[in-house]
Structure 1
C-alpha cells in the first residue's frame, strides 16, 4: 500500500463515485437549510478575504455547493474531491468555477499558496493514523496567517462506523466520529492553532452534533 494511495482513499473514491448522483440530489443545498452553518461559512469567508487575495481550496467539495457559496461571498475558491464523478457533477452545476480530482493527503500544490482551506464533512473518512498527514499537508500549502475551517459529526471519543450500503447502493465507506478537543489537538500538533470551536446540536433528522473548528497557521 503506497502512501499516496492507501486503502481508505481507494474505498472512499469508489464509494462516492457510486453514490454521487443521489448524494448530489439529497445534499446540494444543506447550507440553505442550516442558518448557523451558513453563518460560520460566511465568517470564514470574511477571515480569508481580509487576510489577502490568495485562493481557497474547498477540499472534499462534493457537488460544489460550498464552493459556490464561497464564490458568491467574493472568495477566490476552487474545489477538490477524490471522486471523479463528484467533480464532474460540480463542474456541470457550477461551470464558472474550477474543480479537480485530488486527495487531501497530497494536494499537489506549491508550498504556502492558499489563503484558506475549507473541509466540511470530509475528514470524517480519514483514519486516525492518517489525520496527522492530512493536517501537515494543510499546514504546508497555507500561507502564514491562513485559516482552516473544518466541520464534522462529533463523537465522544474514537468512534468508527463502516457502511456497506447507502442509498440502496453497495459501498465500502468508513466514518470516524471524533471529539472536537481531539481534532483541535491534532491541528495544533500540525502547527494550526485553533481559534474558534462551535458545537451545534442535531437538527431535524440529524443524529449527531456538528462540530466546527477554525484554525490559523502562525506567521
Structure 2
C-alpha cells in the first residue's frame, strides 16, 4: 500500500485540476513538471496541504532536500493529523525520527481508502495469510500442551475487515475487535462474527479493559504500523488470564530494536521481541520465521509469535 489516494478538494476547481496533473506527472516520474504544477496549484490555493506535500515529494526526488523539507513541514502544519502520510517523507529525509513517522491519522486514512478492495487485494495480489498462520500456530501450541482448542474472550487488535475472526470462528465464546478505520469496521460488522467492535487506537483500547479478562489477544500484521511495542506487551499481559495467549505477526528485522523500512512499515528484531516478552513476564510458546505476504512476488520475511501469560 502507498499513501492514501483520497485528497480533499482545495475549494478551487482550477487548482484541483492542476493538482491532478501534478499527481499524474509525479506518477510518471516527471518530478520537475510535478513540482512546477504543484507551485501553480499553490498560487491559486496556498492553503492546500496536498499540493505542499506534492511539491515536497517532487523536490525530494530532485535532490532538493532543504526546500523539500520546508514544503513537507508546511503540509504537516496545515494537516497535523497527517492523513497524507507526510511524516513518512520527513523521516526518510532525516527530518523526523523513525518513531515519529507513522501516526494514527495516517493509518486511519490509509485503511479507510483501502477498505473497499482490502480482502481481494491482500489474498489475491499479496498472497496474504497472516490470520491463517496465527490460527495454525495456536492449534499447534494447544496440541503440544494437550489442551482443547477453545478460547473464552478474544481481543482482535487491528481487526480490519474480520479476517482473523473468520479463522477463529466457532472456537471463541466471544470476540471483540478494535481498529482505527471506521470503513474497515463496517466490513468487519458484516461478518456477524464479533460481539463488539470498537473504533480507536489499540493500546488505549487494551488500557480500558479489565485485568485478567481475556483468554486470547491476537494481532495479525498490525505491528508493522507501530514502532515501540512496550506498551502493547504490557497491556496484553495485564488483560490476559493466567495461561492466556498473545499471538501476533511482525515483519522481521535482523538487528536489534526496530526499523522503518522502505515499504513504509516497521520491522522488529527477534532479540527485541524476546526481551519485551521476558520483561513483561510472558513465556515463549512459539517463535517462527514466516512470511505473511508478498511484495512484487517476493516473500516478505517476518516472525510468528505466540506468548503465554
Instruction: Compute the TM-score of the two structures, normalised by the length of structure 1.
Output: 0.76
Q: Answer 1 or 2: which has greater helix percent.
A: 2
Where does residue 137 of structure 2 map in the other structure? Answer: 40
Aligned pairs for 1:56-205 within 5 A: 56-74=154-172, 76-92=174-190, 94-98=191-195, 99-107=197-205, 108-128=208-228, 131-157=229-255, 158-161=258-261, 174-200=264-290, 205=297
**CA separation of 1:42/1:86 partners in 2, compared to 1, >3 Å: closer, same or farther?**
farther
Deviation of 1:190 after TM superposition, in Å, equals 2.0
Deviation of 1:31 after TM superposition, in Å, equals 6.9
Say which one has the larger Rg.
2
Contact in 2 for aligned 1:58/1:79 (Cα 8 Å) = yes
Contact in 2 for aligned 1:124/1:152 (Cα 8 Å) = yes
Contact in 2 for aligned 1:42/1:73 (Cα 8 Å) = no
SS in 2 for 1:105: helix
RMSD: 3.2
Looking at structure 2, the residues matched to 127 and 36 of structure 1 have their Cα atoms a distance apart, in angstroms, of 22
**Match 2:117 to one of 17, 22, 26:** 22
Where does residue 171 of structure 1 map in the other structure? Answer: none
The number of aligned residues is 199
Looking at structure 2, the residues matched to 33 and 181 of structure 1 have their Cα atoms a distance apart, in angstroms, of 21
Where does residue 214 of structure 1 map in the other structure? Answer: 306
Deviation of 1:132 after TM superposition, in Å, equals 0.9
Is 1:8 aligned to residue 94 of structure 2? no
Gaps of 5+ in 2: 1-79, 81-99
**CA separation of 1:109/1:53 partners in 2, compared to 1, >3 Å: closer, same or farther?**
same
Contact in 2 for aligned 1:145/1:216 (Cα 8 Å) = yes
SS in 1 for 2:112: helix
Gaps of 5+ in 1: 164-173
**1:63-89: per-residue Cα shift (whole Å, max 9, x none)?**
101112101445532222121111111
Q: Which has the higher contact order (CA 8 A, sep 6+)?
A: 1
Q: Answer 1 or 2: which has greater strand percent.
A: 1
**CA separation of 1:32/1:199 partners in 2, compared to 1, >3 Å: closer, same or farther?**
closer
Deviation of 1:37 after TM superposition, in Å, equals 5.5
**CA separation of 1:177/1:87 partners in 2, compared to 1, >3 Å: closer, same or farther?**
same
Looking at structure 1, the residues matched to 169 and 142 of structure 2 have their Cα atoms a distance apart, in angstroms, of 9
